[in-house]
Amino acid sequence: MSKDKMRGINITPYMLHGNKTWQLEVVNSGKKGGPGNYPSVDVPAKFGGNFKITIVDGDGITFSNDPIWVQAGTAKPTEPVIDPQITKIKGKNTPVLTFHDANSGPAMTLTYQLNFNNADPLDPIILNGGGGGAH
């Protein structure tokens, strides 16, 4: 049996002060929040993570042709970049994005940006526990 755990994330657009923004919910965790308070997603030490991010009630919003940028550290990516731990990205131009996080090497923070068609980006955080999850 794989040591990789599925991480489900639902993202829902809503209007805040006249601007469309996002709420992020980590499925089955009780964690959710909006701008400035997005919950991080944990990938425990010695485990990999399979991610499934679903746009809920998106009214036609889909992930872009360049759906995710990911880099080590806490700085938001400002250009296309994919950390080598992130592989198997699927879901371009659809409302569901999936990818694998190998969680290899030392513990680290990965900051990512989700890019959409017809909506502003979203930039939450993955906390990798390290220790070499399965590729």
* Residue 135 in domain: no
pLDDT score recorded for residue 77 = 92
Residue 104 lies in a domain: yes
pLDDT of 88: 96
Helix H, strand E, coil C: the string for the chain is CCCCEEEEEEEEEEEECCEEEEEEEECCCCEEECCCCCCCEEECCCCCEEEEEEECCCCCCEEEEEEEEEEECCCCCCCCCECCCEEEEECCCCCEEEEEECCCCCCEEEEEEEEEECCCCECCEEEECCCCCCC
CATH code of the domain covering residue 34? 2.60.40.420
The residue ranges of the chain whose pLDDT is under 70 are: 1-4, 130-135
At 131 the pLDDT is 61
Q: What is the pTM of this model?
A: 0.88
- Whether 37 maps to a domain, the answer reads yes
Q: Report if residue 11 sits inside a domain.
A: yes
Domain extent, residue 112, equals 5-128
Q: Considering the domain boundaries, does residue 134 fall inside one?
A: no
Q: What is the pLDDT of residue 135?
A: 45
**133 in a domain, yes or no?**
no
Determine the pLDDT at residue 129: 73
Residue 121 in any domain: the answer is yes
